[in-house]
Amino acid sequence: MRPVRFNINKKPVNLTDSVMMADMPPGHSGEGFFATQLSHVVGLARKNSIWPLPFATSCCGIEFMATMASHYDLARFGSERLGFSPRQCDLLMVMGTISKKMAPVLKQVYLQMAEPRWVLSVGACASSGGIFDTYSVLQGIDQVIPVDVYVPGCPPRPEGIIDGILKIQNIIQNEDVRRRSSPVYQKLMQEYNIQ
């Protein structure tokens, strides 16, 4: 008989160590009040309430479905609700092979999203064309839209996708509220011909 090797040395549940709490932003507190910068509060709020727009075109999309399902559960990170309307969403998750014919569609979806918007490129295909180094496939979505975080892998495991989301959260939290009107950002948008 196959020996049972799993879960015989059960770890005691330790809630104080395994539950992650959001850190307080730096500020002054006293009895009954807490004073901090508005941008910290905005960053904290945005970070923990991302609405992702999944743009899943192939195999990496399957991995994303696992990420959303009960086992990995992206909702733990504040992304409970997926939006399927670009107007409502602030994180475009591109997962899968984007063919050259699909590129204008992807760009239009990006344009339809309201600022502030972030882009997560999941998998080798979305990031670089992946194994499809061929005439019909876009060699990386950063040829048409700016990307904030790349997740490598073919496909990346759900942990990888979650790690990408956490990196995005990090960017969101630490981003200056006025970054979008900065010259650097404007220049980046100019490069992609986006007003």
Partner 1 sequence: MVITNDELQKQLEEKFGADILTFVKPSDRLSCIAPKSYNLKILQLLFDHYNFKFLNDLTAVHYPDNIGGELAVVYHISNLQDKVYFRLTVFTSIGEPDVFTATQLFSAANWMERETYDFFGVQFIGHPNLKRILNVEEMTYYPMRKEYPLEDQTRKDKDDQMFGR
Give 119 or 172: the residue with its C-beta nearer to ligand SF4. Answer: 119
Pick the binder of partner 1 from 42, 77, 100, 194 (CB under 8 A): 100
Partner whose binding site includes residue 134, from partner 1, ligand SF4, none (CB under 5 to 8 Å by kind): partner 1
The size of the interface with ligand SF4 (CB under 6 A), counted in residues, is 12
The smaller minimum CB distance to ligand SF4, of residues 67 and 97, is found at: 97
Query: For partner 1, which residue of 52, 54, 123, 129 counts as binding (CB under 8 A)?
Result: 129
Task: Report the 3 state secondary structure along the chain.
Answer: CCCCCCCCCCCCCCHHHHCCCCCCCCCEEECCEEECCHHHHHHHHHHCCCCEEEEECCHHHHHHHHHHCCCCCHHHHCCCCCCCCCCCCCEEEEECCCECCCHHHHHHHHHHCCCCCEEEEEHHHHHHCCCCCCCCECCCHHHCCCCCEEECCCCCCHHHHHHHHHHHHHHHHHCCCCHHHCHHHHHHHHHCCCC
Site size for partner 1 (CB under 8 A): 9
Kindly list the residues in this chain that would bind partner 1 in the complex (CB under 8 A): 100-101, 129, 133-137, 139
